[in-house]
Amino acid sequence: MTAIRLLLVDDDPLVRAGLSFMMGGADDIEIVGEAADGSEVAALVDRTHPDVVLMDIRMPNVDGLTATEELRARKDAPQVVVLTTFHADDQVLRALRAGAAGFVLKDTPPTEILAAVRRVAAGDPVLSPTVTRQLMAHAAGSSHDTRQSGARTRIATLNDREREVAVAVGQGRANAEIATELFMSVATVKTHVSRILAKLGLNNRVQIALLTYDAGLLEEDGR
């Protein structure tokens, strides 16, 4: 079994020590480096080639949001899971829009943090439908009208079937659920999701969900 290469980023040395102790004890996870600030992340990624970066959002110099945006703009970027103390926070939303695969709370039980890293390494986002809806509700505000226009323009590039799949992703449906609901195979769903990501220039399913929300498609669907 190939171990998941993990980079820890947090400005609190006690938090890093706790995460390192907890994560390093798993047989399938290898801690390849630690950083105390977002300014250190790019060089460490170049040197250690992690699969997943566990990234604190609030750091004194370069914050986790900026570091995430820089990482996810790179070719073959590692997956990013953001660490936060809030369920629904503007910075969490910005990190997800930048391409983070999900987030975990700092008081999350160790087994759940381990599970989150494994899921992200396997290509699955770390957001339950409940949390996704909570974040989307938090996203509503004065800037929503502006975002909606741009989101609708991007969604218009999808064909009807891709749009249906995008909406289902926005509703928090898993691939198997989408396949059943739309009468297609799971493999076909995966193909549609891959095409949606490519057409819209997105990194993961979380960004699809946020874009469908911004476009007002979930409201139209009555969800």
Q: What is the pLDDT of residues 92-142, one digit of tens each?
A: 778 888 888 888 888 888 888 898 899 889 877 776 555 666 666 666 554
- The pLDDT value recorded for residue 173 is 83
Q: Are 204 and 125 in contact (CB under 8 A)?
A: yes
pLDDT for 189 beyond 90: yes
Residue 165 to residue 185: CA distance in whole angstroms: 12
**Is 217:167 a contact under the CB 8 Å cutoff?**
yes
Of how many residues is the chain composed? 223
Distant-in-sequence, close-in-space partners of 1: CB < 8 Å, separation ≥ 6: 27, 28
Rounded Cα distance, 122 and 101, in Å: 11
Percent of the chain past pLDDT 70, that is, above it, reads 87
Give the model's pLDDT for residue 81. 92
Evaluate whether 88 touches 138 at the Cβ level (below 8 Å): yes
Kindly state the tokens that stand for 117.
């890293």
Question: How many angstroms separate the CA atoms of 18 and 12, rounded?
Answer: 10
**What tokens were used for 37?**
């600030």
| pLDDT tens, position by position, 13-35 | 999 999 999 888 899 999 999 99
pLDDT at 222: 45
Mean per-residue pLDDT over the chain, rounded: 85
CB neighbour list of residue 21: distance below 8 Å, 6 or more residues apart: none
28-60: pLDDT as tens digits: 999 999 999 999 999 999 999 999 999 998 898
Residues of the chain above pLDDT 90, percent: 44
DSSP the chain: -PPEEEEEE-S-HHHHHHHHHHHHTSTTEEEEEEESSGGGHHHHHHHH--SEEEEES--SSS-HHHHHHHHHTSTTPPEEEEEES-SS-HHHHHHHHHT--EEEETTS-HHHHHHHHHHHHTT--B--HHHHHHHHHHH-STTHHHHHHHHHHHHTTS-HHHHHHHHHHHTT--HHHHHHHHT--HHHHHHHHHHHHHHHT-SSHHHHHHHHHHTTHHHHTT-
Non-local (6+) Cβ contacts of 169 within 8 A are: 178, 193, 196, 205, 208, 209, 212
Predicted pLDDT of residue 223: 43
